[in-house]
Homo-oligomer: A and B are copies of this chain.
Amino acid sequence: MNRAVGVLGGMGPEATLDFFAKVLRRAGARSDQDHLRLLIDNNPGVPDRNAALSGRGESPGPVLAQMARGLQASGADFLVMVCNTAHAFEEDILNATTLPFVSLIEETRDAALREQPGLQRVGLLATSTCLGAGLYQSAFAPYGVSTLALEGSALARFMDLLYQIKAGDTGPRVRAEMRTLALELVDSGAEVLVAGCTEVPLVLDAQDVPVPLVNSTDVLVERTLQYARGLVPLPERSVKTPA
């Protein structure tokens, strides 16, 4: 019997759809009953993560906590969240339920470390908010890996692209601009790129860049299948702020 997966989603909806589609593709199922049970809360009403962390809007924490509680009530055995930036509010989720929570940030870091043994410099395609919260930087630091990220006008262009993707534009112009930004990180010395925002894989593929690209959505899909099928032990709960 597979474990039921609770999915905190809607940030944005296209990324959640992408995750759902990839879980179905990779499940290798031959009948309905071979598939995973996914309980998906596609909640586009989660307050804007970037606005909140820059002090321009309400915190998504309470809404994420309520979603987590609902997913537990519906029968989820563990939780995942299809949004890198929202992991800045991971503690609100951990404090809201008794379920194991699979960190997209830690899983993506681990995939990057597996991808390139001896990795020294990783390039982050991540939101200004994800970068500002230091999510990937603090995940990589204990492994002696330094991080490179877009800055200034390049970061502003990246953020603008993300909102265009959220508005439904995944066309060739957006793809070309994302590739240009990715190549800037490679030119700066990134040995591996992390697509550390679930909108990025919607417009950037491994063949677009000359170094390994670790796609956070793909990582989450693979790990979700492994956790749900009991092939690997679920992460221990590490609540930093006790409830």
Q: Which residues of A contact B (CB under 8 A)?
A: 10-14, 17, 20-21, 24, 29-46, 48, 66-67, 70-71, 73-75, 163, 166-168
Partner of A35, one of B35, B39, B40, B44: B44
Cβ contact within 8 Å between B34 and A44: yes
How far, in Å, is A124 (CB) from chain B's closest CB? 22
Cβ contact within 8 Å between B20 and A74: no
- A70 contact set on B, CB distance < 8 A: 39, 73-75
Task: Give the CA-CA distance A46 to B4 in the complex, in Å.
Answer: 13
Task: Give the CA-CA distance A166 to B30 in the complex, in Å.
Answer: 7
How far, in Å, is A3 (CB) from chain B's closest CB? 11
- A39 contact set on B, CB distance < 8 A: 39-42, 70, 74
- A74 contact set on B, CB distance < 8 A: 39, 41, 67, 70-71, 73-74
- A48 contact set on B, CB distance < 8 A: 32-33
Task: Give the CA-CA distance A55 to B34 in the complex, in Å.
Answer: 22
Partner of A166, one of B11, B31, B163: B31
Cβ contact within 8 Å between A30 and B71: no
29 contacts between A and B (CB under 8 A): A10-B32, A10-B37, A12-B32, A12-B35, A13-B24, A13-B32, A14-B24, A17-B17, A17-B24, A21-B21, A29-B44, A29-B168, A30-B167, A31-B166, A31-B167, A34-B44, A35-B44, A36-B42, A36-B44, A37-B43, A37-B44, A37-B45, A38-B40, A39-B41, A40-B40, A40-B42, A41-B74, A66-B75, A70-B74
Task: Give the CA-CA distance A225 to B74 in the complex, in Å.
Answer: 23
Task: Give the CA-CA distance A163 to B34 in the complex, in Å.
Answer: 13
Partner of A42, one of B38, B43, B66: B38
How far, in Å, is A25 (CB) from chain B's closest CB? 8
Cβ contact within 8 Å between A45 and B33: yes
How far, in Å, is A24 (CB) from chain B's closest CB? 5
Partner of A17, one of B21, B41, B67, B167: B21
Query: Which A-B residue pairs are the 8 nearest by beta carbons?
Result: A70-B74, A35-B44, A73-B73, A40-B40, A12-B32, A38-B42, A32-B44, A13-B35
> Which residue in chain B gives the minimum CB-CB distance to A83?
B32
Cβ contact within 8 Å between A166 and B32: yes
How far, in Å, is A145 (CB) from chain B's closest CB? 31
